[in-house]
Every structure is written in C-alpha cells, then in structure tokens.
C-alpha cells in the first residue's frame, strides 16, 4: 500500500506541473496587454509608460525566462501579486479557499445523508411504487439547474417563511449561529442535485451487488436480511458510491460559481471569475492552479481510500 501511495503522490506532482504549464501558456495568449490594463487605459496609452510597466511586471523578458522564474516562485507557493491592488495572490487564496471547501464539504455531507439512504431504499423496493417515486425525484434533482433550485429556496425559506438569510457571509468566529444559518441554503442548493446523483449510483451499485451469488449464499446460510444488506451488500456497493462522492467534491471546489454569486458567498469560484474579467493574470494563474491541485488531491485520496476498502484493487 505504501508503494501505491508513493506512486500517487508522484503522479500528483506531475499533474500539477502539467496544469501549471498549460495555465501559463493560456494566460500568455489571452487578449489584452496586462501593462495597458494596469495603467487603466486601452487607447492612447503612453508608450513609455507601457514599456516601463511591462518591465515592472517582467513581461519584457523572453517567455522561457518568465516561465522558469514563475515555476520557481510557484514551487515556494509564491504566486505573485495582484496587478490591481498589489495584494499577494496567496493571501487572496487563503482567504477564499476555506470558504469554498467548507461549502463543498457541507454540501457533500448533506447529499450523502440524503442520497445514500434513498438509493438503498429504492434498490430494496426495486420495481415498486417507492422505487419509481424515488427514481423520479432523483431525475428531477439532476435536471433542475442549481440557480432554479437556489432561487426557489430563497423565495421559500427567506421571503415566505423568514427562517434563513437570503445571502451573505458571516465568519464563524464572529457569529457561529448566523454563520450556520447562512451556509444552509447554498449547501442545500448544491446538495439537491448531488443527492440525486448519489442516490442513483447507490441504487445501481446495490442492485448489482444484491444479484451476486454470494448474497444468495449468505441468505441460504440463514443470515438476517439486515446483516446481508448492511454488513455485506452495502459494504461492497459503497465503494463505487465513494468514487462518485470524491469526484463530485473535487468538482465543487471550482464549480460553485453560480451558487457563490447567487448567495453572495465569497469563495474561490467567484474570485476566479472576477480575476478573469479584470485580466488579473497572476490571480488567474493562482486560482486555477489551486483549484486544479485540490481536484487532483481529492481524486488521489479517493483512489487511496478505494484501495483501503477493496484490497483487490491493490
């Protein structure tokens, strides 16, 4: 198992290096001159001022020199400074990333709590009314866009029942109760579609395992149905479900743009969108590499957990 983990860690470094190279290349071919953008004028910019700004930003050096220098800085987690406010990109990331991770983790937990039991029930009631009802609900959950679900939840819980705040963020250290109230709606919005995906995967995995010969053998030996289902069938079925949960969690780190805008949640996704709109190249590079690294690390952890739970994969 140690060898597997070592290989995974080396793979992570290679993947991050490839992502960094691609990001550096794409940012350099984006339209617009960063020096002109920093000076705040698209037309009539003083050529001398532009040249001086390009020298300040290091853009007058050959691309390969810029690339090597940028890689060496990135190796020490130095992503540079924002072009517009001189704030360290790392500081931006350390402020925003925990908020997105918190939202994604809470959403995944809620989705798992909802989706896994529903998937098990649907599998045990295969072909019945309960199965059809739960499958229909799951299909609706996958079909509805998150902004539609989010808007409905805001209208219902905030403007109809006045139970939860419609948007905004409050730090947990400042006001824990208000923080929890404000994370419920965005987490539920994300969890709605995720729960549907997890429920369908749980149902499919459970049905596949329940049709295996060893399940029939266990029943023939006189084991209780509860023991057969939860101790043996679910233990084997959960492996595929964990894979889906891990992939969804990794995707949420950079895929919560609409939710963050809808609920005014100051996370990484909205920061990335704003930095792209501002052509803030150091911030764009830092955001994308951070999001990609989180996704790669989550997938690595899922692979390791997969091997721990199922020795056959090792």
Domains and CATH numbers, the chain: 2-87 (no CATH), 90-313 (1.10.3720.10)
Confidence at residue 236, expressed as pLDDT on a 0 to 100 scale: 81
pLDDT-wise least confident of 41-50, 156-165, 166-175: 41-50
Query: 3-state DSSP call for residue 170?
Result: coil
Per-residue pLDDT at 135 exceeds 70: yes
Q: Which pLDDT value is given to residue 45?
A: 62
Residue 37 confidence (pLDDT) above 60: yes
Would you give the DSSP letter of residue 41?
-
Q: What is the pLDDT of residue 185?
A: 92
CA atoms of 41 and 243, how far apart (whole Å):
49
Determine what percent of the chain is predicted with pLDDT higher than 70: 93
pLDDT number for residue 313: 61
Section 96-100 average pLDDT: 90
Mean pLDDT of 39-65: 71
Q: Please, what's the b/e burial string for 186-209 (b: 16 or more CB within 10 A of its CB; e: otherwise)?
A: bbbbbbbbbbbbbbbbbbbbbbeb
Mean pLDDT of the 264-285 span: 84
**pLDDT surpasses 80 at 290:** yes
Whether pLDDT at 107 is above 90: yes
Residue 85 pLDDT exceeds 70? yes
CA separation for the pair 193, 224 (Å, rounded):
34
Q: What is the mean pLDDT of the chain?
A: 83
- The C-alpha atoms of residue 87 and residue 83 are separated, in whole angstroms, by 8
Give pLDDT, residue 106. Answer: 93
Q: Answer whether residue 109 shows pLDDT above 90.
A: yes
pLDDT exceeds 60 at position 42 = no
Alpha helices by DSSP H, listed for the chain, are 2-28, 34-39, 47-57, 63-75, 89-124, 129-143, 146-153, 176-210, 213-220, 225-226, 234-254, 257-262, 268-277, 281-309
């Amino acid at each position: 198992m140690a060898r597997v983990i070592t290989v995974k860690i080396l793979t992570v470094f290679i993947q991050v290096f490839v992502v960094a190279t691609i990001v550096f290349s794409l940012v350099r071919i984006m339209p617009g001159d960063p020096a002109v953008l920093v000076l705040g004028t698209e037309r009539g910019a003083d050529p001398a001022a532009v040249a001086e700004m390009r020298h300040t930003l290091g853009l007058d050096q050959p691309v390969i020199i810029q690339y090597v220098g940028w890689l060496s800085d990135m190796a020490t987690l130095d992503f540079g400074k924002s072009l517009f406010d001189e704030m360290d990109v790392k500081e931006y990331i350390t402020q925003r990333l925990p908020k997105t991770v918190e939202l994604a983790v809470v959403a995944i937990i809620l989705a798992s709590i909802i989706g896994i039991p529903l998937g098990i029930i649907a599998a045990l009631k295969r072909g019945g009314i309960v199965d059809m009802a739960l499958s229909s609900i799951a299909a609706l959950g996958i079909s509805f866009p998150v902004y539609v679900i989010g808007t409905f939840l805001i209208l219902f819980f905030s403007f109809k029942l006045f139970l939860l705040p419609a948007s905004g963020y409050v730090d947990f250290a400042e006001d824990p109760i208000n923080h929890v109230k404000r994370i419920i709606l965005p987490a539920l919005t994300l969890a709605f579609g995720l729960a549907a995906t997890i429920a369908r995967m749980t149902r499919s995995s459970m049905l596949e395992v329940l049709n295996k010969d060893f399940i029939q053998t266990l029943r023939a030996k006189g084991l209780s149905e509860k023991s057969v289902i939860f101790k043996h069938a679910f233990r084997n079925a959960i492996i595929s479900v964990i894979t889906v949960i891990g992939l969804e969690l990794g995707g949420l780190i950079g895929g919560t743009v609409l939710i963050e805008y809808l609920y005014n949640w100051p996370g990484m996704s909205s920061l990335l969108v704003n930095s792209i709109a501002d052509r803030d190249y150091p911030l764009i590079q830092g955001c994308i590499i951070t999001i990609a690294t989180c996704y790669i690390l989550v997938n690595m952890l899922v692979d390791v957990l997969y091997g721990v739970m199922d020795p056959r994969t090792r």
